[in-house]
A and B are shown apart, each in its own frame.
Chain A
Amino acid sequence: MTSSKSGVRQWVSKTWEQFTTVPMLGWLLGALVAAILENLVGNTFARLVGMSKAPVLFGFDIALKTPLLIPSAICYVLVIYLLPVFIVARALRDPLNKLAAALLKYPIVVSAIVHLGVLYAALHIWSSLNDYRALVVKLILIAVILTLSLNVVNGYMGEFSCSHPGFMALGAYTASVLSVLFFVDGSVFGDALLPPAIGPFIFPLILILGGAVAALGAILVAVPSFRTRGDYLAIISLAFMFIVKSLIENLEIVGGPRGFRGQPDWANLPTVFAWTVISVWIINNFVRSTMGKALCAVRDGELAASSMTVNTSKTKMIAFLFGAFWAGVAGGLFAHVLRYVNPSTFGVQKLAEVLAMVYFGGLNSVVGSIFGAVGFTLLSEALRALELYKWIIIPVLLILVMIYRPTGLIAFREFDVSAMLQPKHKKEKEVDDAAASS
C-alpha cells in the first residue's frame, strides 16, 4: 500500500520535474495557445460534454448552479486549458529556453516586452469570448493597481490607511468630469470644449490629473496623522473616506447620489493593460530602490531609520501621496471602464475589498498584491452564483489566511523581473539524482 502510494507520488514529482525547467515564456505561450484553442473549438467542445456553451470563468458558475455538470466543467478546464498549456510548455521547453537566453542579450526591456506581448495576446483572445469576461479582466487589472498602491502604505510603510476608496473616488470623479467636460457633446456641462477626436490621446493626462487630485486629498490626511505615531492614520483616513463620499453625494453638478454617467469609451483592454503594467513597473522600481527600502526601515524602527539619515516624515509623506496617486489613477480607469460612477461604490464595502486583497495576497510584496487582486477578484466573481453565501465563504477564507499566514499568502517577497525572465536550466542536483537512480 505504502509503496504504491509513494510510487504515485514519485511519478507526480518526476512528471513535475519535467516542468520545473520550463521558462516563463513557455507558460505564457501555453496560455496563448489555450486561449486560441478555446476560441476555435470552445463552444463545440462544451456542447460535446453536455454544456450549452463554453463556461465563462473556468466553469465555476456552471458548477455552482447545476452541480450535475461539475464533471463536464472539470473536463472542459482539463482539455481546453490545462492540457494545451502543459503540452505546449513541455514541447517548446528547449527552444524557448534558448529564445529566453537570446532575448536577454539585449536590454532587459526587450525581453520584458516580448513576455508582456504574449501575455497581452492571451488575455485579449481569452477575453474576446464575451463582454462579461472582458469586463472581469479589466476590473482585475484595475484591482491590481489599487491593491499594489495600498500595499505601499499598509505593507511597506506599515501604517493602516482606510482612505483608498476616497482617493479612488477623487480620481474617478476628477477624470470623469474632465473627459466629459472637454470631450463629450451635449453633457450636463454643455458641448465639448475640445474636439472629441483627440480625447483618447489626452486620456493619459486626464488620468494623471485624477491621480494628482487624489494625492492632494492625501495631503489632508497625511499632515495631521503623521505628526504623531499611533493609530491616528486609521481613524483620520476612515473619516476622510466618509467625507469624500458625502461630499460627492451632495454635489448636484455631478449627479449627487444618482451618480455620474456618460464617460467616453476610452478604457479598452490595451489601455487598461498598459496602465497596469506601468504602475506595477513604477511601484516595483520604487519599493526596490534604497529610497523605497527606507519605508520598510521606518516601519520596523523609526528611531533607527532617522539615525541612519532617513528623513522619516518626508519618506512617509512621499509614500502616502504616491499610493494615493495610483489609487486615483485606478479610480479614473474604473470610471471609464464602467462609464458610470456612483458615490456609494466608494464606501466601506470597497474598503473591505481592497484591504482583503492586500492582506490575502501578502504584505510587502508586489507579487503578493498581484496574486491577491487576481485571486480575490476571480474568487468573488466565481462565487457570484452563491449570492449571499459568497459573503460567508470569502470572509471565512480570509480568516483562515490570517490565522495560518498572518502576513498573507506571498508576503515579503521581492518581485525580481530579471530573475523571472531567465531561461530555466536543469539544476545540478537533479542531474545528480537522475544519475544516482539509474
Chain B
Amino acid sequence: MMPLLQVENMTHFFGGLRAVHDYNLSIEKGEVRGLIGPNGAGKTTIFNLITGVYKPSEGKLALDGASIVGLQPHQIASMGIGRTFQNLRLWRHMTVLEHVRLGRYSKITYGLVGAFLGTPQRHREEAEIEAHAMRLMKLTHTDRFANTVVTNLPYGVQRRVELARALATEPKILFLDEPTAGMNPEELIDMMNIVREVHKELGMAIFLIEHRMKVVMDLCERIQTLVFGEVIAEGAPEEIRNNPQVIDAYLGKEVEA
C-alpha cells in the first residue's frame, strides 16, 4: 500500500545555502510523527517545501500517490495538507469565527452568483460552514471567543485559533510548526490535550515540529532528528532519547531534565 505522504530525496538550496539535504519521509494515514532539531536545522523549511511555499530544488513529493511538486500552496492545502505557522500568522482584523470559517473556503460551491445575490444555496452553505466552524472551535476550546478579533486574545488562545483554522480545511495530514512555542505550562498541557483530542476525534495524520522534548516524546509514534538539513536519526521516542548522536548534536541536558 502506498503511504499517505511520501517525500523522496528532497533537497533545497537558498542561494548557496543548502537548507535541506536528501530528505525522505513517508507518513501513513492517522500516524503522529515528530520532527526535532536545533535552531536553523531546516525544519520549517521542510514544511514550507511540502506545502508549496517553496519549490524544492530536487526531489519527489507525493500525496496519496499524486505528485504535488510545483503546485500552489492553496492547491496543496485543498488536497489535504493543513498547517499552522511557527510565528502566528493570523489575520489581525478578523474574528475567531471568521478565521475558522475561512478554512472552509475550498468547500464552497455557491460561486460568485451566490456571493453576489445571496441565493438560498449560499445561505444553506454558509450555515453549514458556521456549524462546522463552531464544532471545531469547541474542540479547540476557542468557542467562547468566537466573535473576538484575534489580536485581542491571549497568545495561547491565538495558537489554538491557528489549529482550529487549519482543521477547517479538513486535512488528511496536519502540519504543526511548534504548536506550544511560547506557551506557559498551563497552556502547554491544554494544547497537548487538544492535539490528542483532535487526533482521536478526526483521525488525521499529524506531523509536528517541536522544541519541547516532553511534547514530542508524549505525542509522537516516530521522530526524526534533523541537523543542518540532514536527518541524523529516525525512530520511536525511546530510540531517539537514547541515541548518542542525537544527544550529542541536540538534546544534551534536556533529556535528563
Chain A residues proximal to chain B, CB less than 8 Å: 282, 285-286, 289-294, 296-297, 299-301, 303-312, 318, 364, 412
Is A309's CB under 8 angstroms from B103's CB? Answer: yes
Question: A318 CA to B118 CA in the complex, in Å?
Answer: 17
Closest to B98 in A: A293
Say whether, besides A290-B104, A296-B91, A297-B91, A309 and B116 are in contact (CB < 8 Å). Answer: no
Question: A309 CA to B101 CA in the complex, in Å?
Answer: 12
Say whether, besides A290-B108, A290-B129, A412 and B93 are in contact (CB < 8 Å). Answer: yes
Is B89's CB under 8 angstroms from A303's CB? Answer: yes
Say whether, besides A307-B51, A309-B103, A285 and B91 are in contact (CB < 8 Å). Answer: no
Question: A364 CA to B53 CA in the complex, in Å?
Answer: 28
Instruction: Note all chain B residues with C-beta closer than 8 A to A293.
Output: 94, 98, 101-102
Closest to B94 in A: A296
Q: How many Å from the CB of A346 to the closest CB on chain B?
A: 26
Question: A289 CA to B127 CA in the complex, in Å?
Answer: 11
B72 sits at the interface (CB 8 A): yes
Is A285's CB under 8 angstroms from B93's CB? Answer: no
Instruction: Note all chain A residues with C-beta closer than 8 A to B94.
Output: 293, 296-297, 300
B126 sits at the interface (CB 8 A): yes
Is A311's CB under 8 angstroms from B91's CB? Answer: no
Question: A294 CA to B106 CA in the complex, in Å?
Answer: 11
Is B108's CB under 8 angstroms from A310's CB? Answer: no
Q: How many Å from the CB of A260 to the closest CB on chain B?
A: 31
Q: How many Å from the CB of B48 to the closest CB on chain A?
A: 9
B235 sits at the interface (CB 8 A): no
Chain B residues proximal to chain A, CB less than 8 Å: 51, 53, 72-74, 77-78, 82-83, 85, 89-94, 98, 101-106, 108, 110, 112, 114-118, 122, 126, 129, 165-166, 168-169
Given contacts A289-B110, A293-B94, could you give 19 more A-B pairs where the C-beta distance is less than 8 Å?
A: A282-B116, A285-B118, A290-B105, A293-B98, A294-B102, A296-B91, A296-B94, A303-B73, A303-B89, A305-B91, A305-B102, A307-B51, A307-B166, A308-B77, A308-B168, A308-B169, A309-B78, A309-B103, A309-B105
Is A310's CB under 8 angstroms from B102's CB? Answer: yes
Q: How many Å from the CB of A28 to the closest CB on chain B?
A: 23
Is A291's CB under 8 angstroms from B74's CB? Answer: no
Q: How many Å from the CB of A363 to the closest CB on chain B?
A: 9
Instruction: Note all chain A residues with C-beta closer than 8 A to B114.
Output: 289
Question: A292 CA to B89 CA in the complex, in Å?
Answer: 19
Say whether, besides A293-B102, A307-B83, A308-B105, A301 and B91 are in contact (CB < 8 Å). Answer: yes
A285: contacting residue among B105, B106, B117, CB under 8 A:
B117
Q: How many Å from the CB of B51 to the closest CB on chain A?
A: 6
Instruction: Note all chain A residues with C-beta closer than 8 A to B169.
Output: 308-309
Closest to A290 in B: B101
- 22 A-B contacts, Cβ less than 8 Å apart? A282-B117, A285-B116, A285-B117, A289-B110, A290-B102, A290-B129, A291-B108, A293-B98, A296-B91, A296-B94, A300-B91, A301-B92, A303-B53, A304-B89, A306-B77, A307-B74, A307-B166, A308-B165, A309-B77, A309-B103, A310-B74, A310-B105
Smallest CB-CB A-B distances: 6 pairs: A300-B91, A309-B106, A304-B89, A306-B73, A289-B115, A291-B115
Closest to A158 in B: B93
Q: How many Å from the CB of B121 to the closest CB on chain A?
A: 12
Question: A294 CA to B74 CA in the complex, in Å?
Answer: 12
User: B92, B102, B169: which has the most chain A beta carbons within 10 Å?
Assistant: B102
Question: A312 CA to B105 CA in the complex, in Å?
Answer: 11
Instruction: Note all chain A residues with C-beta closer than 8 A to B110.
Output: 289
Is A301's CB under 8 angstroms from B115's CB? Answer: no
Q: How many Å from the CB of B69 to the closest CB on chain A?
A: 17
Question: A309 CA to B169 CA in the complex, in Å?
Answer: 7
Instruction: Note all chain B residues with C-beta closer than 8 A to A285.
Output: 115-118
Instruction: Note all chain A residues with C-beta closer than 8 A to B103.
Output: 308-309
Q: How many Å from the CB of B175 to the closest CB on chain A?
A: 9
Is B90's CB under 8 angstroms from A301's CB? Answer: yes
Question: A307 CA to B84 CA in the complex, in Å?
Answer: 9
Is A312's CB under 8 angstroms from B74's CB? Answer: yes
Is B90's CB under 8 angstroms from A304's CB? Answer: yes
Instruction: Note all chain A residues with C-beta closer than 8 A to B78.
Output: 309
Question: A303 CA to B117 CA in the complex, in Å?
Answer: 29
Question: A286 CA to B112 CA in the complex, in Å?
Answer: 8
Is A309's CB under 8 angstroms from B74's CB? Answer: yes
Is A301's CB under 8 angstroms from B89's CB? Answer: yes
Q: How many Å from the CB of B217 to the closest CB on chain A?
A: 28
Question: A309 CA to B115 CA in the complex, in Å?
Answer: 18
Closest to A300 in B: B91
Instruction: Note all chain B residues with C-beta closer than 8 A to A305.
Output: 91, 102
Question: A312 CA to B89 CA in the complex, in Å?
Answer: 16
Instruction: Note all chain A residues with C-beta closer than 8 A to B117.
Output: 282, 285
Question: A294 CA to B114 CA in the complex, in Å?
Answer: 15
Question: A286 CA to B118 CA in the complex, in Å?
Answer: 8
Q: How many Å from the CB of B218 to the closest CB on chain A?
A: 26
User: A305, A364, A412: which has the most chain B beta carbons within 10 Å?
Assistant: A305
Instruction: Note all chain B residues with C-beta closer than 8 A to A282.
Output: 116-117
Question: A285 CA to B122 CA in the complex, in Å?
Answer: 10
Question: A297 CA to B100 CA in the complex, in Å?
Answer: 11
Instruction: Note all chain A residues with C-beta closer than 8 A to B112.
Output: 291, 318
Closest to B73 in A: A306
Instruction: Note all chain B residues with C-beta closer than 8 A to A301.
Output: 89-92
Question: A299 CA to B106 CA in the complex, in Å?
Answer: 18
Instruction: Note all chain B residues with C-beta closer than 8 A to A300.
Output: 90-94
